Amino acid sequence: MAAHNNVALVSGAARGLGEQVARRLHAAGYRVAVADIDLDGAGAVARGLDPGGGSALALRLDVRVKADFTAALALLQERWGGVHVLVNNAGQSRVAPLMEITPEDFDAVVAVNLKGVFLACQVFGAAFARQGYGRVINIASLAGQTGGTATGAHYAAAKGGVLTLTKVFARELAADGVTVNAISPGPLDLPIVHESVPAERLAAITQTIPTRALGDAGFIADAVVLLASPQAGSATGACWDINGGLFMR
């Protein structure tokens, strides 16, 4: 991999899918910024990747705050000479009956899942455009395509917005050598899924999946690596559906 395009930032990387994405990118030769609001968790992941810190670092990132993205960008420019791949993975899934979602809860979920992607794409998209190269991968969700079955309406609506933002930023940045794509996973075999969905309900949901299995988070991470590749220049504005057959175009 060329030295000039091998720095990646992954948000929400202290655990779950984000951690797997960070590990896969690091294994593929990227220097990785493990970003999360949980700095201790991010630090543990970064040290696991590279105890010396030469190819992995942790940084605290609250995706609701634009200044945090600006600071992260500046840090990576100082430490590693720039950044070339952004993975917007940070998210917050809440389960709530539709008519019981409060305005405050709606705003809180949208702020993390949608506003955070918007701010990240603004800050890093502009930097990528200036350098004439960049890869943005947004982690969306099947819920944003179908309205969701095991998640709240606020989460589903936010993820639907991520798919639209992906297209908007892809169109804006394409001429500057920057691609912007989304991946929409279905239910994944991850701790957060088991924590948020009762076991009996999760078993019932699994039986509705055509493949009769939860998705492999490692494969989602592999797809991120593929979209992050310098060779992926013709893939932009796309949404890759990886959902066990639950949603087919």
pLDDT in tens, 120-174: 999 999 999 999 999 999 999 999 999 987 789 999 999 999 999 999 999 999 9
Q: Structural domains in the chain?
A: 3-242 (3.40.50.720)
Catalogue the active-site residues.
Answer: 155
Mean pLDDT of 180-207: 91
* pLDDT score of 6: 95
Mean pLDDT of 196-215: 92
* pLDDT score of 2: 44
60 burial level (CB within 10 Å; 0-12, 13-18, 19+): middle
* pLDDT score of 4: 54
Mean pLDDT of 51-58: 97
How many Cβ atoms sit within 10 Å of the Cβ of residue 98? 9
User: What sign does the dihedral 88-93-97-101 (CA atoms) show?
Assistant: negative
* pLDDT score of 3: 44
Of the pLDDT bands very low, low, confident and very high (cuts 50, 70, 90), residue 98 is very high
Q: Is pLDDT at 111 greater than 80 in this prediction? A: yes
* pLDDT score of 151: 85
Kind of pairing between the strands at 85-88 and 56-60: unpaired
Q: Look-up: residue for tokens 């100082």?
A: 78
Average pLDDT value for the chain: 95
* pLDDT score of 38: 98
